[in-house]
Chains A and B, each alone.
Chain A
Amino acid sequence: MTSLPPALIFFAGALLVGLAPARLRPAMTLLVPLFGGWNLWYVAGGGGLDVALFDTQLELVRADKLALLFGILFHLATFLACIYAFHLRDRMQQVTALIYAGGALGAVFAGDLITLFIGWEIMAVSSVFLIWARRTPRASSAGLRYLIMQISSGLLLLAGALLHISETGSPAFGAMGLGSLAGILIFTAFGIKCAFPLVHSWLTDAYPEATPTGMVFLSAFTTKVAIYGLARSFAGAEVLIYIGTAMAMFPIFFAVIENDLRRVLAFSLINQVGFMVVGIGIGSELAMNGAVSHAFNDVLFKGLLLMSMGAVLHQTGKINGSELGGLYKTMPITTGLCIVGAASISAFPLFSGFVSKSMVMVAAAEEGYWIVWLLLLFASAGVFHHAGIKIPYFAFFAHDSGIRTREPPLNMLLAMGLSAALCILIGVYPSLLYSLLPWEVHYVPYTADHVLTQLQLLFFSALAFAWLNLSGLYPPELPSVNLDADWLYRRLGVGIVRRAERVWIKAERAGARFAQYGTGVLQRSAARHYGPASVLARTWSTGFAALWIVVLLGICLILYYL
């Protein structure tokens, strides 16, 4: 039995969904990942798929364990997100979400850099519609900024890929290293999509402007494809350890003071991706397994948290911590499911984060990076603080905002319920996840000391929150905007451009004045010499001319005799 390229099923599905009548569309979006999953079974069993493009051999499907893990994850994520979006009556979102997922699948199954680039760009262009679909002025400008960053990443990838192909003669998408310019370009391209520090703000800027359902899709694919790319090409690159640590650290400070709860989760997304980047930088089998299994878990628990916040936004139209509170009274099921997501991301024992994040931590310790280990432990406490406690606390508890609403539509609850069940299932039976991992797993998460130390960390972090909150030291939720790296292009860059524009206008005016003066002078002197009253325009008498000729002839005669 032969199989189809997974991406192709999604593209064809998107086309069919786009043409289908509105009432059939939601069900059809669900059939796409289901059919894709059935096909994936045969992809796993069969070999790859190669096609020739001019002289280059393209490998459209490379189905090794690493690619399959992400393939399974993306099918699962699409399925859950499509259930969550089942109530939508928006063709644009339904179609672009499937194209986006297809692009992600195309990228992770790509065996060569050209196919990777195509998937990369399809993701960039399709995903922006999930932001624009919010149809607000803020979303449309944030979407544009997002698109510029994504396309820049794509261009860097293309430049790096072409350079790599001309240098090595092979388009293969494999281990690369940072020794060549091509490697550095590709690394930077991955880094932008991975939200490395200073090029991260496209994520925290644009994701929270997306639709409630759109952000669930967005959080699942782009950064995870970047993690896959780094794992494929730059495993063991030491610089990733430090980049990843920075990613795990800095967002937690912003998350504490951020008011938009979906933006808090966007910061937390960067923080979790940081753990994965550290794992890839360490590069040992344990660390790599930790990185990719954490990517798997993050899609589920971050998806769950975003679904619960999306449900709040969908039901109340509000998402700022300063405007919410007390929703547990009217949304108890959503509250409970959100807490499952919060426990999972905080790595509570019996929840999914517990069985994956600690692999990266132990690997860091084993390789002797103890400062990194300490910082990651700090970040772990910080995650619990802002994602584990802050999110459910300010949305569902805290002071009663007076908002009385209802539980979200059944499909949203179902998607959250399934995600929560998976988070607990993986937490309780980690071997389900471990059996999918690309390298053999010797790690045992449930040891008495691991459970105890993790519980101590979490309980004392929670005590700190309780103490700070009761004593009034905790910073209140305030309606505000916090400056971040996007200030560089939203304010400084715009300021520089405006200033340059003003200088240019002045220079233009000065130039025009100068030109006017210059032409005036020229005009006047021309008029003096050649104008109707000038010397040359005078009418002279014949006698005067004859006199001049006599003078000239006389001069010639004198010269002749000399």
Chain B
Amino acid sequence: MSNKAWIEKRKNVVLMVRIFLAVSIVLLLLDLVIHRHDLFSWEGWFGFYGFYGFVACVALVLAAKVLRKLVMRREDYYD
């Protein structure tokens, strides 16, 4: 037995992510059931928010990595 906490074990992390994924898919499918008052035509597309949220976050992180190349300096840059 390792003395790592439950939450730190890789297998439990994977389990949590799987549960999370399952909940996300259920939320996505609920789109079919719940009537949506769409603000724009494409805002009412199936899965728009889920898709947008996922893509936005991946784009954000990838753009931030590029930004880091441009603006990152040593910690004592201004000292």
Contacts and interface: CB of A to CB of B under 8 A. Distances in A.
Given A253-B60, A253-B64, A460-B50, A481 B74 contact: yes
Given A377-B52, A456-B27, 19 more contacts: A253-B64, A254-B67, A256-B60, A257-B67, A366-B39, A373-B40, A448-B35, A454-B49, A456-B31, A457-B52, A459-B20, A459-B27, A460-B52, A461-B56, A463-B24, A473-B62, A481-B74, A482-B72, A483-B72
Nearest to B72: A480
Contacts of A400: 8
A382 B37 contact: no
A459 B29 CA distance: 13
A397 B62 CA distance: 23
Nearest to A454: B49
Contacts of B13: 470
A508 B73 CA distance: 36
A481 B77 contact: yes
A460 B51 contact: yes
A385 B71 contact: no
B52 A449 contact: no
25 contacts: A253-B60, A253-B64, A253-B67, A254-B64, A365-B40, A452-B27, A453-B48, A455-B27, A456-B24, A456-B50, A457-B52, A459-B24, A459-B50, A461-B53, A462-B20, A464-B57, A465-B57, A467-B58, A468-B57, A470-B17, A473-B61, A475-B65, A478-B72, A481-B78, A482-B71
Contact of B20 (A138, A466, A481): A466
A252 B63 CA distance: 10
Interface of B: 5, 7-8, 13, 17, 20-21, 23-24, 27-28, 30-31, 34-37, 39-40, 43, 47-54, 56-58, 60-65, 67-68, 70-79
A370 interface: yes
A467 B71 CA distance: 25
Interface in A365-404: 365-366, 370, 373, 377-378, 381-382, 385, 397, 400
Nearest to B52: A377
A232 interface: no
B60 A459 contact: no
Nearest to A378: B56
A382 B54 CA distance: 10
**Top 7 A-B residue pairs of the complex, sorted by shortest distance between their CB atoms:** A464-B57, A256-B64, A365-B39, A460-B53, A381-B56, A456-B49, A457-B53
Contact of B64 (A138, A257, A397, A462): A257
B52 A362 contact: no
Nearest to A361: B39
Given A452-B30, A460-B49, A447 B37 contact: yes
B72 A385 contact: no
B39 A382 contact: no
A454 B74 CA distance: 39
Contact of A452 (B31, B65, B72): B31
A455 B23 CA distance: 10
